[in-house]
Amino acid sequence: MTWYSQAPAGMCASPSLPFGTVVTVTNTATGASTSCTVDDREESGYPRVLDMSPSGFAQLADPSRGVVEATISW
C-alpha cells in the first residue's frame, strides 16, 4: 500500500476495484486499520495494489515510510 498527495481524505485508488467500493486496510505489522473508498485508478500494480490519501495512510503508518505491507478487504 502506498499514498499519493492528490487523494482527498478517505479516498483511495485501485487498479481494478469498482469506484465506490469501501475497502478496509490493515497494516500487517501493527494491526492498525482504517477504511477508504475507491475513487481513482492507479497503475503501479503488484505488489502495490492500493494508493491511499495521505490522511488515511497516516492512520496506519508514518507517511515518510511511503510503502507499508497491508491486507485489504471489501
24-61 pLDDT, tens digit per residue, is 999 999 999 999 999 999 876 667 789 999 999 999 99
Q: Which CATH number fits domain 2-73: 2.40.40.10, 3.40.640.10, 3.30.70.2740, 3.40.630.30?
A: 2.40.40.10
pLDDT class of 11 with cuts at 50, 70, 90: very high
Strands 70-73 and 22-27: antiparallel
Domain ranges of the chain: 2-73
Give the 3-state DSSP-derived string for 48-67, with helices as H, strands as E and coil as C: CCCEECHHHHHCCCCHHHCE
* Residue 34, all three cell numbers: 482504517
DSSP state, residue 17: S
pLDDT of residue 4: 84
pLDDT class of 22 with cuts at 50, 70, 90: very high
pLDDT of residue 48: 72
* Residue 71, all three cell numbers: 491486507
